[in-house]
Structure 1
Amino acid sequence: MKIYFLLFFSVLIGSQTCLAQEKLTETEKLICTAKIWGFLKYYHPKVANGKYDWDTQLFEILPKIEKAQDKTALSSVFSQWIASLGEISRCNSCGTDSKKEYFTKNFDLNWTQDRNLFSDEVCKKLKDIEENRFQGKQHYVSTINNVGNIQIENEPEYKNFDWNNKNLRILSLFRYWNTIEYFFPYKYQTDQKWDLVLTEMLPKFLHPENKEEYHLCMLELVVKINDSHGFFITPETNDYFGLKWLPADFSIIDDKAIVTKFYNDSLAQKDDLRIGDVITKVDGKPISQILEKNYKYINASNASSKLNNAKYAIFNGSTDTVKIEYIRNGTTESKTVNRYFFKDFKYKFSWGKDKWKILDGNIGYVNMGTVTNKEIPKMMEDLKNTKGTIFDIRNYPNGTLYQIANYINPTKADFYKKIIPDLSYPGKFIWGESGKCGNNRHEKYTGKIIVLVNGQTQSHAEFTTMGFQANKNAMVIGSQTSGADGNISRFELVGGFKTMMSGIGIFYPDGKETQRVGIVPNIEVKPTILGIQKGQDEVLDKAIEVINTKS
């Protein structure tokens, strides 16, 4: 029996020794480094307060990481690094704050205690840092007063950034990944687990073949947060897609691009482009094939907004002309059409001329993209006797929600609640107070209330729609909205390349999500190819039908 026990014990010790001595890949080592570097940046009292130049610390530790061949050697590097930062004092205020209601779906520090990654000594040090984390003013991040979304601070920009510099590419990935890891309120909703994003993107950041490929790596990384606010544009990404446009806008329906309007009428007429043309191929490639190729480079919260944001990825290019295949009047034809720089269109963007009007049948219509706060009293006076009013939010409103709510909501009502990052415990978010709109000071509008939405209804437009929904009789008609709600946080990747994300989490009062889901219409109506060709606004038509239907 003793012999069997000794044999078993020897095998067990041997297997652990093999694990400790198993050679680690560059990616495996850098994944651990990214996590520890980010954790120390926001948690260690002598790092989070700005005592150390944390970028330089990374550059100095990377050669040691490269030399470490196995878990034991790597943990030794980490342990010495942490020790070099100095002793930390006991934190008497780091316990659970019973006054805070935490949202914890984004929070996960279990990796700090993973003995498959780190030695016992490193795990203990990381736990000690968490339990005695920094409680002062963070050096690298702060929150915006009265809102709560983060702003990144004191990060060197590296204006003379050279994409060939491997260390700076690593730094860029580490910075962005940890910003999302600790401060993106919707991290838990990403299609791909954020840990796996790091695993996938590290080799791409380590080994880009050229400058354009590196910029596309940055774009792909940003797209992986699945947030319609997550824009990322550089001269190199523009070169990839091309800066020359067709003089027309499109809707993507059933893998076809339908012409919906023109940026320049005369240039469109020059190539005989017409509203309702159904484009099926571009330079011989089906629309679906082009979308599939560029899908990972198109930022969006959901599939609908992905299509809405994809048009430049389908038709743009660097050449003056492009060949299209299209269907008109049931006949399939092909022709070559011209492309132009967008500035050549001299296009003046507008949400339309009408601010409000009364349609046939005594139905009010409000263009929420054009009406302003000072006009609300006059508008509501003009519309007060209509049998129903359609509030069109297929645009971006001018902050008029609260004024309008005073006329349509009989009492002050909750319409959202939010989460904001807790900088005293990075990765955790705090539920804020519910937001309200409406009051009983004005004569209330008694007609039916219809709200129109579509994929262009984004951010403040979605927030505004939620305010209208506080009136339980309001009805939303249209299609899935963009699914990007919450004040944006702007920041930069290394080299000064700008990006942004949704910075606070917005939910309905009952905790129901809006991010990625968007506003779910009571009645779903999507434009059809035939409707576009006939010049119909099928969503508006449905709203008029609902108002005219006796309830």
Structure 2
Amino acid sequence: MKKITFFFLLFLSQITFGQAKITENEKLAATCKVWGFLKYYHPVVAAGKTNWDEQLFKVLPKIEKASTKEEYSLVIEKWIDELGEVPVNKPLADDPKRDYFDKNFSLDWTQKDKLFSKNLSKKLKFITENRFQGANYYVNRDGKETVPLQFVNEPEYAEFQWTDKNLRLLALYRFWNYVEYFFPYKYVMDQNWDEALVEIVPQIANPKSEKEFLLAMREISMKLNDSHAATINMDMFKYLGGEKYPAFSTRFVKNKSVIINLANDSLAKIDDLKIGDIITKLDGVSIKDKVEEFSKYSQGSNKPAAAINANFVMFTGNDDEFEIEFIRDNVTSVKKVHRYPNEKIKRTPPKSSTKKWEILDQNIGLIRMSKVPKGDVPQMMEELKNTKSIIFDVRARPTETDFLVSDYLNSEPKPILRSLYQDLSYPGRYYFNNVMQECGKINTDYYKGKVIVLVGPGTHSFGEQTAMSLQTAPNATVIGTQTSGADGPNYLFTIIKGFDSSFTSSGVFYPNKKETQRIGIVPDITVKPTILGVQQGKDEVFERAVLFAKTGK
């Protein structure tokens, strides 16, 4: 009798386990992955032979009713079957001349997801093995090397309303799968992309308010840890920062914000603000904690880059006043300061030299790369060719000089970088371009002096590639702080009506495949700004560069 009871209980437990309840979030996350996989792999969907958005809207009510793994899998299986038979289609053999990159690539989830029956996993595996091989209806290249992919044929839904659950989920599903298959730096993100989906689904599927939905759409793009990545919606600004601004600018230094610029004297007098004031708290919260809070919605490949954006946004708002705790002359005080609509702030442009290049004391050249057009490069290098050092300031975005400067710094062509592109015949896989980007030319009369490159958080994207080209010079030294860490072209696209987004669309690596994304250009000499230096208006990075130019130390 005991044996009969034992086996009965065992049998009952197996039935119970097999029919375990599944949550809405689990179903919606799994559906997102299946929907994207079929979009790029199934021959009917990838060829654009069905309205894939409408197919999603039709299946969602059926998915909502499924309460067990078995019921869910049957819904998905039937969905796939209704698309038609997948013909046997032996994939093209890999090109032996291509250098493939698989760090982003894994379809293991199709065989391991806890919501999938064995039969469903078998169907997904068959589709993988007989995947679509033609030009995908939803993604292609536009023929420009700088933008190696485009998302196309995606209806924008002009009548989009945030209260429409189907369209909210569509927006999330589109973006998540864009990243899953076409973001080259997915593998270096802080959070696993599958985990990010599970975390964000509830805020998209059942938001408590418009604010929660909009900020969730912003937050999911911030999880890319990419200074190029940001989702923007005009209504977001009601909740993220605001529409009014303080009459000052700050720099984030050692977990404090130092006022570095005042909009104009009259507004500064109203609140008794002074350059050099050290703000330690904002509305009773430490600046460090405020930056951490806003970094959740601030784009940045690394913490310094995100902190710069957060430092700006956290002072904006919709209220006319806010409270700061600040230090002036070693005295800590608390007071209210004002915010203004942007049109009421007549901003005084920051003082800076208008010279594109010049020769400093002791025969040291200085080039402000943000001011030099391509056509001026020959004249500039001719005037500076006899200097003992040239300081190239790349802390603000350079003009499009196309690495022409390196023609004068190298004796022969040098490789700068290698690019990583999406393999559109096998979504999720990438390959390195066979031809590396080079700079320089055969030049026996190349510049023999010190090449000093100034970098910082403002050294971003093309600026980072410019720094990489200058590093190829025989006597190059990089001075400054960590750069933006977003190296590669920025691809702008629309997710759905009202939501524009972007991310780095192709990878950029050093010739030896050393990474630059998130890491940035690593200085040979690190110089971090100090509060005292900021208060005194010093350019500490530049001063260190001049010292190095003079002494070699």
Which of 22, 25, 47 does residue 23 from structure 2 map onto?
A: 25
Residue aligning to 1:399: 400
**1:287–1:314 Cα contact (<8 Å) kept:** no
Q: 1:453 to 1:164 in 2, by over 3 A?
A: same
Identity of aligned residues (%): 45
Aligned to 2:67: 69
> Aligned-pair distance for 1:102?
1.1
State the SS of the aligned residue for 1:547. Answer: helix
User: CA, structure 1 residues 533+385, in 2 after alignment: closer, same or farther (shift >3 Å)?
Assistant: same
Query: Structure 1 residues 501 and 263 mapped into 2: Cα distance closer, same or farther (>3 Å)?
Result: farther
Correspondence list, 1:105-504, <5 A: 105-114=103-112, 116-145=114-143, 146-147=145-146, 149-240=148-239, 241-347=241-347, 352-432=353-433, 433-441=435-443, 443-504=445-506
Q: Which moved more, 1:32-41 or 1:282-291?
A: 282-291
CA, structure 1 residues 508+501, in 2 after alignment: closer, same or farther (shift >3 Å)? Answer: same
State the one-letter code of the partner of 1:324.
I
Residues 360-384 of structure 1, C-alpha deviation per residue, up to 9 Å, x if partnerless? 1110000011111111111111111
Q: Distance in 2 between matches of 1:237 and 1:348?
A: 28
1:542 alignment counterpart: 544
Give ranges in structure 1 of 5+ residues lacking alignment. none
Q: Is the 8 A contact 1:411 1:438 kept in 2?
A: yes
> How many Å apart are 1:7 and its aligned residue?
10
In structure 2, what is the Cα distance between the partners aligned to 1:15 and 1:111?
Answer: 26
Structure 1, 119-128 or 457-466: larger mean CA deviation: 119-128
The answer to whether the Cα contact below 8 Å between 2:39 and 2:46 also exists between their aligned partners in 1 is yes
Q: Distance in 1 between matches of 2:380 and 2:20?
A: 73
Say whether the 8 Å CA contact 2:366–2:392 is kept in structure 1: yes
Deviation sequence 1:132-180 (CA, Å, 0-9, x none): 1111111111123223532111111112111111111111111111110
8 Å Cα contact 1:94/1:131 also seen in 2: no
Shift of 1:550: 4.7
CA contact (8 A) 1:364 1:388 kept: yes
TM-score, normalised to structure 1's length? 0.95
Greater displacement, 116-125 / 411-420: 116-125
What is the CA–CA distance in structure 2 between the aligned matches of 1:107 and 1:469, rounded to whole Å?
Answer: 32
Distance change >3 Å, CA 447–CA 270, structure 1 → 2: farther
Matching of residue 86 in structure 1 with residue 87 in structure 2? no
CA–CA separation in structure 2 for the residues paired with 1:338 and 1:442? 60
Counterpart pick for 1:45 among 25, 43, 46:
43
TM-score (norm 2): 0.94
- The answer as to whether partners of 2:411 and 2:443 remain within 8 angstroms in 1 is no
Q: For 2:106 and 2:378, locate their aligned partners in 1 and report how far apart those are by CA, in whole Å.
A: 49
Q: What residue in structure 2 maps to residue 58 of structure 1?
A: 56
Larger displacement relative to structure 2 (104-113 or 311-320): 311-320
1:75/1:550 Cα in 2 relative to 1: closer, same or farther (>3 Å)?
closer
For residues 405-445 of structure 1, give each alpha carbon's deviation from its aligned partner in whole angstroms, at most 9, with x where no partner exists: 10012211111111111111000011113211111247311
Q: Counterpart of 1:498 in 2: which secondary structure? A: strand
Contact kept in structure 1, 2:25 and 2:198, CA below 8 Å: yes
Amino acid at match of 2:501: T
Return the offset for 1:115.
6.4
Residue 510 of structure 2 is matched in structure 1 by 508
Matching residue of 1:527: 529
Quick one: distance in 1 between partners of 2:228 and 2:410? 30
* 1:255 Cα deviation from its structure 2 partner: 1.6
| 1:27 Cα deviation from its structure 2 partner | 0.9
Provide closer, same or farther for how the CA distance between residues 9 and 487 of structure 1 changes in structure 2, counting only shifts above 3 A.
farther
Distance (Å, rounded) in 1 between the aligned partners of 2:204 and 2:387: 59
Deviation at 1:269, TM superposition (A): 4.7
> Would you say the 8 A contact 2:291–2:311 is kept in 1?
no
- Structure 1: distance between partners of 2:524 and 2:340: 41
After TM superposition, give the deviation of residue 223 of structure 1 in Å. Answer: 0.7
> 3-state DSSP class of the match of 2:296?
helix
Counterpart CA distance in 2 for 1:218 and 1:177 is 11
Give, in whole Å, the separation in 2 of the partners of 1:513 and 1:9. Answer: 57
Give the residue type in structure 1 aligned to 2:233. Answer: T
Return closer, same or farther for 1:143/1:196 CA change in 2, 3 Å cut-off. same
**Local SS of the residue matching 1:198:** helix
Q: CA deviation at 1:320?
A: 2.4
How far apart in 1 are the matches of 2:54 and 2:515?
A: 40
Q: Distance in 1 between matches of 2:14 and 2:485?
A: 47
Q: Residues 163 and 376 from structure 1, CA distance in 2 versus in 1: closer, same or farther, beyond 3 angstroms? A: same
Deviation at 1:71, TM superposition (A): 1.1
Cα pair 1:21 1:70 within 8 Å, conserved: yes
**Residues 17-45 of structure 1: per-residue CA shift (max 9 Å, x gap):** 43321111111111211111000000011
CA drift at 1:520: 0.7
Seen in structure 2, the aligned counterparts of structure 1 residues 103 and 6 have a Cα distance that, compared at 3 Å, is: farther
Question: Is the partner of 1:164 in helix, strand or coil?
Answer: coil
How far apart in 1 are the matches of 2:253 and 2:265?
23
Following superposition, the deviation at residue 16 of structure 1 comes to 4.9
**Aligned pair in 2 of structure 1 residues 235, 550: CA closer, same or farther (>3 Å)?**
closer
Q: Aligned residue pairs: how many? A: 549
Distance 1:5 1:138 in 2: 59
Task: Please list the CA deviations of residues 240-273 of structure 1 after superposition, one character each: whole Å capped at 9, or x if unmatched.
Answer: 1112112222111122101122344553355332
Amino acid at match of 1:232: T
Q: Secondary structure at the match of 1:144?
A: coil
Give me the whole-angstrom Cα distance separating, in 1, the residues matched to 2:299 and 2:356: 31
Measured in 2, the distance between the counterparts of 1:456 and 1:325 equals: 28
The answer (yes or no) to whether the contact 1:294–1:313 under 8 Å persists in 2 is: yes
Query: Structure 1: how far apart are the matches of 2:98 and 2:528?
Result: 42
Is contact 2:250–2:312 with CA below 8 Å preserved after alignment? no
Q: Distance in 2 between matches of 1:404 and 1:70?
A: 64
Q: Secondary structure at the match of 2:403?
A: helix
How far 1:292 sits from its partner (Å)? Answer: 3.1
Q: 1:496 Cα deviation (Å)?
A: 3.0
Is the Cα contact below 8 Å between 1:184 and 1:502 reproduced in 2?
A: yes
User: Tell me, what secondary structure is at the counterpart of 1:539?
Assistant: helix
Deviation of 1:507 (Å): 0.7
Cα distance in 1 between the residues matched to 2:285 and 2:113: 51
**Does the CA contact (< 8 Å) of 1:406 and 1:442 recur in 2?**
no
Pair 550,58 (structure 1): closer, same or farther in 2 beyond 3 Å: closer
Give the secondary structure class of the aligned counterpart of 2:534.
Answer: helix
Give, in whole Å, the separation in 1 of the partners of 2:16 and 2:227.
46
How far is 1:283 from its partner? 2.6
Deviations 1:314-335 (A, max 9, x none): 2111122323222122122333
Deviation of 1:527 after TM superposition, in Å, equals 1.0
Residues in 2 aligned to 1:170 and 1:349: alpha-carbon distance in whole angstroms? 44
User: Deviations 1:500-537 (Å, cap 9, x if unpaired)?
Assistant: 00000111111111111111100000111111122211
CA distance in 1, matches of 2:551, 2:113: 66
